[in-house]
Amino acid sequence: MSLEPIRQKPAADSQGAASVRVLVLVLLFTVAAVYEAFNLSSLASLDVWSHLRTGTWILQNHAVPHNGLFSQYPDLPWIAPDWGFDVLLASAYRLMGLRALPVLLMLFKVALAVTFFFLARGSRQNFWVPVLLAAVAQSVIPVQLQEGLCSILFFAVELALLFHARGAASTRPLLWLPLLFAIWANLDTQFIYGLLALFLLLVVIIVEEICYRLGVAWFAGPAPAIPLGMTGVVTVASLLATLLTPYTYHLYGVALKNLGRSALQVYLPEFNAVGFRRPQDYVLLLLAMLAFFSLGCRHSRDLFQYSLMIGCALLSFPAQRNSWLVAVASVAAIGDAFPTTSSETAQEGVHPWRPEYLVTAGVVLLALWVAVVSRIPSSRGALLAVVGRTLPVRACDYIRDNQLSGPIFNAYEWGSFLIWYLPDYAIAIDSRNDLYGDEINLRYFKLTHAEIPLSADFTFTYSRTILLESNAPMAVALRATPRFKAVYSDNLATVLVPQQQ
């Protein structure tokens, strides 16, 4: 008489646990994306606009650029290494207008959350640890609508494949890598970091093979080594796959240059080391320390994981723009510390809570749709008003409406936006550092920091319109001289024109 309630209780508990997991996953996957619908940070992005303009140019001309478009240096050689991302952005813009920017960033944020969850082995019996790792990883990685988001996603997928191949002692997961690199190389030059990780695995396998033959198995760890020959073939195939771009091997010139130290690190924070002035910097350090701690606690002798963590740390902490590398590697290393045991596999069967993924996906899509419809304006004017809070929309309107002469000498941070919003004006500079090179970039920054005279930079001398931040020291100084006249000014931007002598 009392057996029936006992039999029903586990089912009720299982349904309750499943509901909790669905709720937690929905929150994990949607909170950051829904916040973007309220915040619209993508419309305040400084770099996305040049990508949008370049992608539009590619779609219009059915070709990729080879010179310095939109600048005062049209004869300088320049390639658009992120052309795939540019076309993706421009295609979405054609479909949705400015609404495409926040929608794309929302989708990227969901993709990052899902990828981090499964990279932390969220598909296994361990549930709460991957949830926590995915949440922490999202908090320490600065997410802006830029091509680097593609690299974060692809690097996480690559590490998932590499770790799975190591654990299964099989090269089958590695067979996806050539396809991954063929796509990655057309989206962002940071595919070079993925190649470095793959070459690192090849070197580790060679070391393990040598150790086995010498009878020294300390480095190999408990997992059998992946076959060396097939790994070499996959590595070569992946390297060749990166040449399947419109720029072929020329892409490596830009990619390798980005690996080195930049002369602009004095002027641009993204090139500086992690300063540990923000809470997320300390969380990033704690995440990396936890990854090393997890390797030590399980007495791991996996040379690949140690080398990967050390390499990513050396690349991440000296340059803020690379901080995502150690975050992704840490999530993979910590997640690998929670493998599925044989007993868990037997209990898991065919993943009894996999239907929860379908329910979660449906709820996430519904939440995104509601957020887009209810929070993101559909009119271009309303969205431009949001853009105008941080970018000089009104000043640009004044320049266009009054047909001021070009070229424009502009604030560095606004160059990308001017390329898109004032396409008929050649600008002095923007964030395409590979176009301008160290000489032009340094001359610009020295001029704006009053380290050289105004006459030392011909882009300033020959500019007919000057657009600077209103509170910038250079704008304040130019307004005080009779050589320049401020024809427009608001709380954000000042437009000046040189006076005839």
| Mean of pLDDT values over 129-148 | 91
State the pLDDT at residue 261: 62
Residue 447 near residue 410 (C-beta atoms within 8 A): no
What three-state secondary structure class fits 493?
A: strand
Residue 82 near residue 58 (C-beta atoms within 8 A): no
| Mean of pLDDT values over 204-209 | 86
Mean pLDDT of the chain: 88
> Using one digit for the tens of pLDDT, what is the confidence trace for 343-365?
444 344 445 446 878 888 999 99
> Using one digit for the tens of pLDDT, what is the confidence trace for 165-192?
988 888 899 999 999 999 999 999 999 9
State the pLDDT at residue 168: 83
234: Cβ contacts below 8 Å, ≥ 6 apart: 171, 174, 175, 177, 178, 198
pLDDT exceeds cutoff 80 at 402: yes
Structure tokens at 146: 């830029």
| Mean of pLDDT values over 239-251 | 95
| Mean of pLDDT values over 36-41 | 94
Residue 133 near residue 120 (C-beta atoms within 8 A): yes
Structure tokens at 111: 């993709």
Give per-residue burial for 213-247: e unless 16+ CB within 10 Å, then b.
eeeeeebbbeeebbeeeebeebbebbeebbeebbb
Structure tokens at 435: 């176009």
Beta bridge partners of 484: 498
| Mean of pLDDT values over 255-268 | 75
Distance CA 172, CA 176 (A): 8
Distance from the Cα of residue 396 to its chain's centroid? 29
State the pLDDT at residue 137: 93
Residues across the chain: 501
At 20, is the pLDDT very low, low, confident or very high (cuts 50, 70, 90)? confident
State the pLDDT at residue 8: 46
Crossing angle between the packed helical segments 48-61 and 83-96, to the nearest 10 degrees = 90
At 125, is the pLDDT very low, low, confident or very high (cuts 50, 70, 90)? low
Lowest mean pLDDT among 106-110, 254-258, 324-328, 430-434: 254-258
Is the CA virtual torsion 315, 316, 321, 325 positive or negative?
positive
pLDDT exceeds cutoff 80 at 302: yes
Q: For a pLDDT cut of 70, what percent of the chain falls above it?
A: 90
Q: How many separate helices (H) and strands (E) can be counted in the chain?
A: 21, 4
How would you class 112 by CB atoms within 10 Å of its CB: exposed for 0-12, middle for 13-18, buried for 19 or more? buried
Longest dimension (CA), the chain: 105
